[in-house]
Structure 1
Amino acid sequence: MSHGPTTTATQGGAVKLPPLTPGPYRARLTVVALIATLGGLLFGYDTSVMNGAMSFMEQPDQLNLTSDGIGIAVSSLLFASAVGALTGGRISDRIGRKTTITVMATLFIAGVAVVATAPNLLVLAIGRVILGLAVGSASVVVPVYLAELAPYEIRGSLAGRNEMMIVTGQLLAIVMNAIIGNVWGEQYPWVWRVMFTLAAIPAILLLLGVTRLPESPRWLADKGREDEALAILDSLRPEGRARPELAEIQATSREEASRVKLTVREIFSNRNLVRIVLIGCGIGFFQQTTGINSILYYGERVLEQSGFSRGGALIANIAPATISVIAAIVALQMMDRFSRRKTFLWGYGLVAVTHVLIASAASLLPEGGIRPFVLLALIVFFVGSMQLCLNVATWVTLSEIFPLKMRAFGMGLSVFVLWMTNSFLSRYFDSILAAVGLSWSFIGFAVLNAVAFTFFFLFVPETKGRTLEQLEEDVMSGELFNRSRG
């Protein structure tokens, strides 16, 4: 699709960007995105593989995990992910996005090796912590990397591919668990080790593929390496666009450097930056209080409470994971066509209503009969609504709302909040489910999503249709918040 030229105001005047015409650069962007988003695939697989593997790990001749042990095994990865998210962005600012992805791939391989050979809960938790550091780094670095490489016209769909790969990884984990568990589980209770080991394949592919990745041109320009940045932009843009885009990046970087260095102390002394950080943290927090990851991590438990057998729950788990991938594909097509803000509002509204319906069905329908299938259908609708309107939009928005000089910090802190919320819910969801039941658990999620709707309506600005440099100027001036109803 051809877009008209864009004029961006800068300190030195105006920089005109030629239209985004078709060309071979699109194929190169696709290859780069495919390699980088293997980190997202690993993110999805490693966070969801416990959903199905845990029933085998509980057996006496395996790890003999208790319910509390399962909670530790799930949450150890998530707490470590929070640390990885908080530190990964800062590290990538120092050593570069590409080098950070290389380190991340190495951690994925090491973590898989420790988990797959774990003789007890302690070693399992250590392996899950290593994986968590890689997952947390991936959740910050990959979306930022893609957003910094992408032309602004297709930034939403390109950066959003990471979320599609995350849900593909989740689906892959659940499908493989269902196949392995139902075919070999009764005969070989150690099959959970195979389930974890499969994650080594994309991790190795990522480590090999990272040699083909370019460095972020925005990171290079920020480090004064303009010639390298220009060469990369030349290969990833239509003819005649690289030089004016680099000029735009340089102008914004110079203006920002002269205004503020954006240390942590200075970030929190700037009202507009504090506001955008709080908005980012709110986006991360409410993405988790939808309850989506409680389904993805404990879906087998929820479906068993709904009325399915263990084998049936493993198979039924495939349905929400499949709709998640389908909805992510549709969401990618939506991202550059529809308002980010309105997409969020539709999403939280739909999710809140669906949670009320799940709670009502769990409470009112008698055991057996159609109850498990009605609940499965509602859970599938919930996951589809979440994926269609919220997941891709969350990661794309977080990757684009922060100024360059604080992007790693802002993204890292927001995703740290996201992972800590995820960790807390995942650590205690199994106990909450056992204590209050399916109905009241989802009533709690419905209330949280109503609060989220109010937050997004009042505070979250529109970011679609502007370059990262335009967004940066609008954040620093406060103009972005005046357009929050856009």
Structure 2
Amino acid sequence: MPFPPSTAGDTAGTKPTISKKHEIIIFSSTAIALYGYDQGMMSLINTNRSYLRTMAIAETSPIVGIIVSVYYLGCTVGAVLASYWADKKGRKPSISACLATTMLGNLLMFIAGLSPNGSDPWGGASLALMLAGRVILGVGVGGIDATIPVFSSELSKDGARGRALAQEFQMNIFGLLMAFAINLRVTIALGKDNQWAWRIPIVVMQAFPILLVSTISRLPESPRWYISMDRKDDARRALAALHGDAKAEDMLDEIHRAQQEESDEKIGYIDMLVPGGSQFHPTMLAVMGQVNQALTGYGAVSVYGPQIFELLGFGVREAEYVTLGNYISYFLMMTLAWMTIDVLGRRKLMVWGSGGLATCFALLTVFGGLSLDVGHISVLVTEILGSITLFVATAIFGVCWLATVWLIPTEIYPSGARAQGSSVSVIVWGLTNFTITLITPILFNNAKYWLFLVFAATNAFAGWWTWCYSPETGGRSFEENQEFFITAREEGSWAVRKVDGGKFLYIPRKEKDAEDGKDVPSETAPLLGSRT
């Protein structure tokens, strides 16, 4: 049994058990790790000779990038379908359908070109089945990425928003690390010419959706969805399972009042995507956040890590070991992310992160040039300096950019638009990563180390745009963040330094509770709670 029996609260004299709240955290983190696993899985499959022969492609073929990138197109479709299904049928049915879709896509990838001796009797059908599996897998994972944040936030009420999300994204990196470690281990054991060296990492991915499907029945449905469907008794039972009978009735009344208030304001995609729409400004912030995260280049680094280290002068196996070390560092440094995101704020982290990444990639351009084009420079020197720089760049991205762009959309939309905002964010994430992962192998093969200079420039742009137009949303309640958009509309400017006298340039200071003098950060306010 994945989880031991749980209760809504501990009883004196009984053995402590895992609460429903902790089960929700474990479930959400495992679901997010699913996406990270795919990134780490494909990074070594792309260089497996048996895989390339089975797909009938060369290592330098642009089809390598196409196989990776079509996954993200599937994600965009999955985000739209899952969000619609979650509103119509419930969060849990939507998630279950996405998990089933994920298992199907993964299975198609596993059997593509399968044969007893590892030859390819399938002809072009192998590539066709692999592409279909990648798209279907993307539909499932994209739906999970769009639905899980809404589901977990509607079931969780306490705690800092940034810290919670950053901790979940640390599990995303754990999934990436796990996949690469398994991939590297079987590659070393079986060799790059063995079909099982790339099929085993693929089929191991099935453990994630199987575990999630087997445990989702233990979790309650969203009380907010029950209320929206006029199922008040079901909502009461869900709240009692989470918070106990004593709190359930008060929370039920609160959610019901919030639902009545939200029902008066219907927001559609037209309001979000058309200039002049009521939610066009926050939507552009969500869109540009995902675009700028893609422009940092770390979608490419995650998938093509070994090839990047080879550009710095490492041999194939050495590059794979150093990539593993980089992912371990990545996972550990994510601890710093959830320690700082609610203290320094989202905006400051992203601006500092862009500056640091632009510097690191500029240095990597120099080291790559010295490694490949300057004969009298020691390769060991460029390997060491380049590796340190790339390790630092990875840490900067994890701390400053990985979780922030996913957090901001949950803080800038009214409740009536939050589900659609999450969907738009996933769609843009899918399209931008499709583009980056598609062109990266082409740039590897043609631009070589000059690719780093491209990323240095795109990071500089991301930092400039964030400084000019992205407000600080941390440490503020929903109503306070809405003041930025109202004032921006009244003053006719999106520039943060001009809106409300630059009030949203920085995270606000904590206020003192009038009764007991304690610090009460507004960040701990319920994400979807009613603040009337």
TM-score range, shorter chain: 0.7 to 0.9
Name the residue aligned to 1:167. 173
Amino acid at match of 1:63: M
Separation in structure 1 between the aligned mates of residue 192 and residue 426 of structure 2, nearest angstrom: 39
How far off is 1:157 after superposition? 2.5
Matched, 1:52 2:37: no
Name the residue aligned to 1:263. 268
SS in 2 for 1:151: coil
**Does structure 2 retain, via aligned residues, the 8 Å contact 1:93–1:219?**
yes
How far off is 1:73 after superposition? 1.2
| Change over 3 Å in CA distance of 1:300–1:220 after alignment to 2 | same
How far off is 1:347 after superposition? 1.9
| Change over 3 Å in CA distance of 1:26–1:193 after alignment to 2 | closer
**Does structure 2 retain, via aligned residues, the 8 Å contact 1:37–1:142?**
no
Separation in structure 2 between the aligned mates of residue 415 and residue 371 of structure 1, nearest angstrom: 38
**Does structure 1 retain, via aligned residues, the 8 Å contact 2:362–2:452?**
yes
Amino acid at match of 2:330: S
% of aligned pairs identical?
24
**Does structure 1 retain, via aligned residues, the 8 Å contact 2:357–2:456?**
yes
| Change over 3 Å in CA distance of 1:181–1:115 after alignment to 2 | same
**Does structure 2 retain, via aligned residues, the 8 Å contact 1:78–1:132?**
yes
Matched, 1:99 2:62: no
The answer to which of 183-192 and 105-114 deviates more is 183-192
SS in 2 for 1:370: helix
**Does structure 2 retain, via aligned residues, the 8 Å contact 1:174–1:318?**
yes
Name the residue aligned to 1:335. 341
Question: Pick from 69, 72, 94: which aligns with 1:75?
Answer: 69
| Change over 3 Å in CA distance of 1:323–1:241 after alignment to 2 | farther
Q: Deviations over 1:340-366 (max 9, x none)?
A: 222222222222222222222222453
Name the residue aligned to 1:39. 31
Amino acid at match of 1:36: S
Name the residue aligned to 1:14. none
Gaps of 5+ in 1: 1-20
SS in 2 for 1:62: helix
Map 1:103-252 onto structure 2 (within 5 A): 103-119=97-113, 120-186=126-192, 188-237=194-243, 243=249, 245-252=251-258
Separation in structure 2 between the aligned mates of residue 398 and residue 123 of structure 1, nearest angstrom: 35
| Change over 3 Å in CA distance of 1:330–1:26 after alignment to 2 | farther
The answer to which of 64-73 and 118-127 deviates more is 64-73
SS in 2 for 1:261: coil
SS in 1 for 2:48: helix
**Does structure 1 retain, via aligned residues, the 8 Å contact 2:79–2:143?**
yes
Question: Pick from 484, 494, 505: which aligns with 1:485?
Answer: 505
Separation in structure 2 between the aligned mates of residue 465 and residue 149 of structure 1, nearest angstrom: 21
| Higher helix proportion | 1
**Does structure 1 retain, via aligned residues, the 8 Å contact 2:50–2:195?**
no
Matched, 1:346 2:352: yes
The answer to which of 372-381 and 184-193 deviates more is 184-193
Separation in structure 1 between the aligned mates of residue 233 and residue 346 of structure 2, nearest angstrom: 34
Structure possessing the higher radius of gyration over alpha carbons: 2
Amino acid at match of 2:266: K
Matched, 1:386 2:397: yes
| Change over 3 Å in CA distance of 1:467–1:227 after alignment to 2 | farther
Separation in structure 1 between the aligned mates of residue 17 and residue 406 of structure 2, nearest angstrom: 24
**Does structure 1 retain, via aligned residues, the 8 Å contact 2:473–2:481?**
no
TM-score (norm 2): 0.80
How far off is 1:294 after superposition? 0.6
| Change over 3 Å in CA distance of 1:162–1:293 after alignment to 2 | same
SS in 1 for 2:408: helix
How far off is 1:111 after superposition? 1.3
Q: Deviations over 1:291-343 (max 9, x none)?
A: 11111111121112222222222211112211221122232233343322222
Name the residue aligned to 1:406. 417
Amino acid at match of 2:505: R
Q: Deviations over 1:436-471 (max 9, x none)?
A: 121x21211122112211222222223323455x46
Separation in structure 2 between the aligned mates of residue 285 and residue 121 of structure 1, nearest angstrom: 30
Q: Deviations over 1:8-47 (max 9, x none)?
A: xxxxxxxxxxxxx999999432211111332211111123
Name the residue aligned to 1:458. 468
Name the residue aligned to 2:84. 90
| Change over 3 Å in CA distance of 1:341–1:229 after alignment to 2 | farther
Amino acid at match of 2:28: A
TM-score (norm 1): 0.87
**Does structure 1 retain, via aligned residues, the 8 Å contact 2:271–2:277?**
no
CA RMSD of aligned residues (A): 2.8
How far off is 1:474 after superposition? 4.5
Matched, 1:307 2:301: no
Separation in structure 2 between the aligned mates of residue 462 and residue 225 of structure 1, nearest angstrom: 37
| Change over 3 Å in CA distance of 1:285–1:27 after alignment to 2 | same
Name the residue aligned to 2:513. none
Amino acid at match of 2:20: R
Question: Pick from 303, 318, 323: which aligns with 1:317?
Answer: 323
Separation in structure 1 between the aligned mates of residue 67 and residue 147 of structure 2, nearest angstrom: 25
The answer to which of 241-250 and 449-458 deviates more is 241-250
Separation in structure 1 between the aligned mates of residue 275 and residue 436 of structure 2, nearest angstrom: 32
**Does structure 2 retain, via aligned residues, the 8 Å contact 1:52–1:174?**
yes
Matched, 1:443 2:453: yes
Separation in structure 2 between the aligned mates of residue 213 and residue 56 of structure 1, nearest angstrom: 40
Question: Pick from 363, 369, 373: which aligns with 2:380?
Answer: 369
| Change over 3 Å in CA distance of 1:68–1:376 after alignment to 2 | same
